[in-house]
Chains A and B, each alone.
Chain A
Amino acid sequence: MNQSAILEVQNLTKTFTNAGHSLTVLHGVSFSIEKGITCAIVGPSGSGKTTLLGLCAGLDKPTSGSVSLNNQKISDYSEANLSKIRNEQIGFVFQSFQLIPTLTALENVMVPIELRGVPYHKVEKSALELLESVGLKNRAGHYPTQLSGGEQQRVGIARAFIHQPEILFADEPTGNLDGETGAQVEEILFNLNKEKGTTLIIVTHDIELASKCDRIIELKNGHIHKDTYTTATEPEAIQMDAL
């Protein structure tokens, strides 16, 4: 594994079988992601973006190939171990925000840490600080239904950073927002990511959003079609499967 890589994907294949019919969504995909960069995974609908994200985040098991996160081969892990990895090393931002409707904004932000058994009063302060950094400290006691879409996504971003993950997966983070709100959310996401030094992987259709990332991986029909660095400093090695 590349020494500076946080995520390494090797020869990853995913085949879904339904009623005797097989559909291979990813075909032997390989790449690695360097620690601390921002990377966009783009591609048309059905290209395998969400499947790839799920496999990289330990939400699903590959048919063949491997995924290593921080030198841990998570593709071989049991669900119980994967839960632990997700809780300690991975953050998520979802297109539909996915807040728990019965909890307040503050409580939603605290969930990942509280799941570790940390008492409320020990996590409350850092959660409030994060809400302040996304501009929602005054809405801490509000329930999701009392917040606008943009506000909900900002709570989602605060939740994604509360446990200081090493890598953060964002699935169409601005997909459900209007342009102006989306831009605000993008700014908050990138600023926080920079501040915390997290590796950010974004799945998106939005070329403008993708262009703000250090690297863009373009998927097509389950293959990596293009892998581009947008910044001046390219890594030592780029691994790309043959098209």
Chain B
Amino acid sequence: MNFFRELFSPYSWKLAYRDSKSQWRSLIIYTSSVVAGVAALVAILSFRNDVLLTVDGQSRELLGADLELRSTQPFHEDVIAFIDSTGGSDATAWEFNSMVLFNEAGATRLSQIRAIDGPFPLYGELSTEPAEAALNYQKNNSALVEQSAMSQFNISVGDTIRVGNRNLAVEGALLSVPGEAAAFSLVGPRVYLPKSAIEGTGLLDRGSRVEYKHYFQFDDAESLIAFTEAFRPLGREHQVRTETVESRIATFEVIVNNLTRFLGLIAFIALLLGGLGVGSAIYVYIKRKTATVATLRCLGMTKEKILAVFAIQVAVLGFMGALSGTGIGLILQFYIPTLFADLLPFQIIQALSFEAISLGLFTGVLISVIFSLLPLASVSAISPLLTLRSTDFSPIGSLPKKVKFITLSISLAVLIFIVGLLTESYIASLVFTLSLLLFVLLLWGVAAFLIAAVKSLRLKSFSYTVRQGMANLFRPNNQTSMLMTTLGMGMLLIGTLYLSQDMLLQRINLETGDDTPDLVFYDIQMDQNDRLNEIITEEGAKVIQNVPIVSMRLSSRKGQSVQEMRRDTTVSISNWVLSREYRVTYREELNEAETILRGEWIGQAEGLSSVIPISISTQIEDELQLQIGDTLGFNVQGVPITTTVASVREVDFQRPEPNFFVVFPAGVLEQAPQFFASTVKTNDDAQSARLQSAVVNELPNVSAIDISVALASVREFLDKVSMAVQFMALFSIFTGFIVLASSIAISRRQRTKESVLLRTLGANNSQVGSIQTIEYALLGLLSSLTGLLLAIAASWGLAYFYFDLAFIPNFITLTAITLFIMLLAILIGWSGSRHIFKHSPLEILRLQTN
């Protein structure tokens, strides 16, 4: 209680001010480690606020209508009748993927076709070049083509494209679609056509996956609610989904909240590292103040008052650090949207967020204080006796275990509370905080190992400057371990992100070989299969696989119908797995991507009349909660069949070939309506382009995926997503460098003394400079290694246990990153050490008496 009384005593504040007056610059540097973390946190929280604010202002544009009805089947006549009875829809669309031939360029590309009838979007507008193209394309029976595709294939307005067997003039370039992010085009260029242009092309009759949509506009919310309430039973019966502005916003908000929480936690890591930096600096500060504290205690000042004075200094300076961080965060707020430019479906409206500012300030101060608790508590261990006996006193070492335990417990509890505020889940907070502490301890361990290695490596064969540079890492009150941990955490984050992304690309970018396909054709109808294979052979390419595919729907599981399961509240099975259209194949053998985990693979069956032994993937096993021997009923386009689970397969879906959740044995589905997919190996890009053009010309409904183009899209998407994450992770590196600057400020006097002494003993400036440079370069190297060693270990584990991949990290890039960190460490080190040459060697004589 005395402590709290002292904390609010005006005299304590006066004393805190007087004491800090002469050293406020140093004190600010000590607490500045939280700046980067607070800045990152404020920026990301402000960004979240901006996105939600924008969604609020442009909610209808997000959907383009008040209501959307959609189905993967043409709308049932009952549904059409219902729509007509309410006055009909305002616009309709068919959306599907199809090959588009860019006639002038002679190139083909799998594109996202949107065949529109009516004034879609009902809210907002398509942005096109020229602007009037959006208004004219339906009237002129022409097309709008994604800007990026037009640039890539050098297409101009007036050129023609071929979709199915229909040629259409290009009306204009499509720049943006309300409610859709630019990254949508990575799947394939978007092409808008009038619906009338598609009718009669045969594209929709040939097994394409089409999404049929109707859009509605309502005068008021009541009409919308009345419509959706009345439509619900019909929609459920005919599997027509409804999407309102509210449901789209809710989905969007969940995504934004999850994304910003995730990025907020990465920002919080920077803040936590900053806290460690502050704690370490305050410890050294208090250790230096030992003699003063002992004197004050001799003069009769209570330890509660001394503690209150230091606590006031830490809190006020922590607040100043948090305030600077908040200011920088508000500036960064304007940059964050550019990171997500292609991933957001609208231009962000920006505003100051009171919530972000107050949370940034609050967490910044709290983190500064809780990480300083242990060093502050150590003030109570400083005895007045120390005025008489000058020893190398360790304040924290002298604290009773009980005090240490209580202080650390309070710190941990406050940390969990702060993370809980950010994640809105205390379980997530507990897991995150403890995992983070585990990683900090791991980093600390790796740092200790590396430090021991450097100590033992101080070989006699090294020159004096090298050995002295190495030795400087261990000077009294050094913060080497702290620096290696904070900078190392940044490197761990960046390194793991980079290595995982690299691994993911390695995983899908399989080595080229004779049997590695580079082109996949699908939606091949039965009567087209032989001809397609002929075209492939005529063009000189090689068919690797030709796979039959049969569409069916699940009708029952373990004797219970799908309808019963939906009604049964005791069954918790995802709706998608019950209602999806299963596309299955049949064959006698397993392929290279499959491994039997349970049961027995049966490749041949006795026709439809028997119970058919099928093989399911592990995903279906989990989702449908199945065991070997369980029965599944399927409806094969009107024909009911009963199957039994004979085996469970682990399937590598990453391979560029068709793979299936469910595989039937041969001898059952041969006569069922089916279509085919073929994987093809071509000799070069030119042959691939010729083959795709030939197929589009003769079999326009057949779609092709060029694997190299798909890989480039995946790479681009990963780059876009990882850039934002890497940007946030960079703040941990910034924090590491602030801690470095802080530790240099703390050791300023020691460095000056060392430099002056060496020069007195005859060292020239170049030798003193070399020693400093070696010290900073080593700090950068060791910090980088601390993080990267753990990142490589984590990535190796991921590769070995999860991806089943022989992972070889890109050592050239890792070396370049390490060299960059070393260079930065040297630059920051020198920017804080230039003063060492300004002092005359004479000071060594004066320092003696200080």
Contacts and interface: CB of A to CB of B under 8 A. Distances in A.
Interface of A: 50, 53-54, 59-60, 79-80, 83-88, 90, 92, 94-96, 98, 100-103, 107, 110-112, 114-117, 119-121, 124, 145, 159, 171-172
A83 B763 contact: yes
Interface in B804-850: 840-842, 844-849
Contacts of B842: 54, 59-60
B226 interface: no
Top-8 shortest CB links A-B? A87-B762, A114-B464, A102-B471, A120-B460, A59-B842, A54-B842, A60-B842, A96-B848
Nearest to B474: A102
Contacts of A107: 467, 471
Contacts of A53: 845
A60 B840 contact: yes
Contact of A121 (B460, B760, B767, B840): B460
A84 B760 contact: no
B302 interface: no
Contacts of A86: 760-762, 841
Given A96-B848, A98-B844, A117-B463, A103 B761 contact: no
A103 B473 CA distance: 11
Given A94-B848, A145-B392, A59 B840 contact: yes
A83 to B, nearest CB: 5
Interface in B390-414: 392
B141 interface: no
A34 to B, nearest CB: 24
Interface stretch (B374-382, B513-521, B751-759): B751-759
B461 interface: yes
Residue among A98, A110, A112 with the highest chain B CB neighbour number at 10 A:
A98
A87 B761 contact: yes
Interface of B: 392, 460-464, 467-468, 471-472, 474-476, 754, 757-765, 767, 840-842, 844-849
A50 B761 contact: no
Contacts, number: 95
A145 B463 CA distance: 24
Contact of B757 (A85, A98, A116, A119): A98
A94 B845 contact: yes
B845 A111 contact: no
A217 B460 CA distance: 44
B844 A59 contact: yes
Nearest to B462: A120
A110 to B, nearest CB: 8
Nearest to A112: B761
Contacts of B392: 145
Contacts of A101: 475-476
A116 B762 CA distance: 9
A59 B476 CA distance: 27
Contacts of B758: 100, 111, 115
A52 to B, nearest CB: 11
A60 B839 CA distance: 11
Contacts of A116: 762
A80 B766 CA distance: 10
B474 A115 contact: no
Contact of B844 (A94, A124, A145): A94
A25 to B, nearest CB: 12
Contacts of B475: 101-102
Contact of B847 (A88, A96, A102, A103): A96
A110 B460 CA distance: 12
B476 A145 contact: yes
A115 B765 contact: no
A94 B460 CA distance: 27
Contact of A171 (B474, B757, B845): B845
Nearest to B476: A101
B763 A87 contact: yes
A83 B762 contact: yes
A124 B846 CA distance: 31
A110 B762 CA distance: 13
Contacts of B764: 80, 83-84
A54 B845 contact: yes
Contacts of A121: 460
Nearest to B843: A59
Nearest to B767: A115
A92 B476 contact: no
Contacts of A59: 760, 840-842, 844-845
Contacts of B840: 59-60
Contacts of A80: 764-765
Nearest to A61: B840
Given A53-B845, A60-B842, A120 B461 contact: yes
Given A86-B762, A95-B848, A171-B845, 12 more contacts: A59-B840, A85-B762, A94-B845, A100-B468, A101-B476, A103-B471, A111-B758, A115-B761, A119-B463, A120-B461, A121-B460, A145-B476
A172 B844 CA distance: 13
